[in-house]
Each structure stands twice: as C-alpha cells, then as structure tokens.
Amino acid sequence: MKTIVLVSDNHGNRSVLKKIDGMYPAADHYLHCGDSLMDASDLRPFVSVKGNCDREDFDLCRILEAEGHRIFMCHGHNFGNADLRTMSDTARFQGCDLVFFGHLHRFVDETLEGVRLINPGSCSFNKDSSRPCFALVEVTQEDVKVKRIDL
C-alpha cells in the first residue's frame, strides 16, 4: 500500500502545507496539484505541477505510478477549465486510470468511463463555502481509497 497526501491551491499559505506535512510524516508521496505560489525548494516534500497562478517552472502535467496504477496529475486549468471529460479522455489516452487535479477549489471524487478523478479541494479556501481541505489517498493494486480531510 502507498499513502499519498494530495493537496492543491494553497495560494502562498506556507503554514498550511507544514501543518499537513506534520500530520502525515510517514506518507509515501506528497503531491501538490498547483497554485502554490511558492518555489519548488519551499514546497518540499511536496512535488508539484504548474497552476495558472504559479510563476515557478513546474511541469504542466506529470504521470506517476503507484501500486500498478498510473496517475495523471495536472492543475486542470489547461484542460477546458478542469473539464472532467477532457481530463478523463487525456488520462485514458496516456494509459492512466487516476487523475489528480486542482483549480476548482472544491473537493471532487468521481469516476468517468473508468477513470477516477480526484481533486483534493483547496487547503486555503474552497469556493463552495466548505472548509479548506486536502485528500489522503491510499493505493493498493486492488483499490484506491480517498478520504477528505477538513482543516
């Protein structure tokens, strides 16, 4: 099993990332879906993609592997403003069964044509008036469990 701490859209709030990192010090992966407004060195241990507000030269997308699953990671702004179908189609074309994305500032966990799309929400402010949050993702070959963690 691999444990992934998944965050997005902290918009410069360094303290929230330190808090989240401290909550799960033994996680296998720390992933950030963009709009950190931080340098890569300040984001450690998080690995990030580039959001529409980021100045750092992050990759627009990444493909990762965990326990036999292929993960397509992006911010989402460059996929029809985080259009689920566009991201699902792109992931499937890349041989991925999971999409991790940000941009919407709201938690999403949906499956579309066999591709599971997960947005951890914003760890600073959600646009749907819910509490700031992130996701804890536990991946095995047989299953992917996603838990929303409110801050």
Domains and CATH numbers, the chain: 2-150 (3.60.21.10)
Output the pLDDT for position 56.
84
Q: What is d(CA 140, CA 129) in angstroms, rounded to the nearest whole number?
A: 32
- The pair of three-digit structure tokens given for residue 82, joined into one six-digit string: 């985080």
90-132 pLDDT, tens per residue? Answer: 999 999 999 999 999 999 999 999 999 999 999 999 999 999 9
Other Cβ atoms less than 10 A from the Cβ of 128: the count is 10
129-145 pLDDT, tens per residue? Answer: 999 999 999 999 999 99
CA count, 13 A, side-chain hemisphere, 115: 25
Question: Whose structure tokens read 């259009």?
Answer: 83
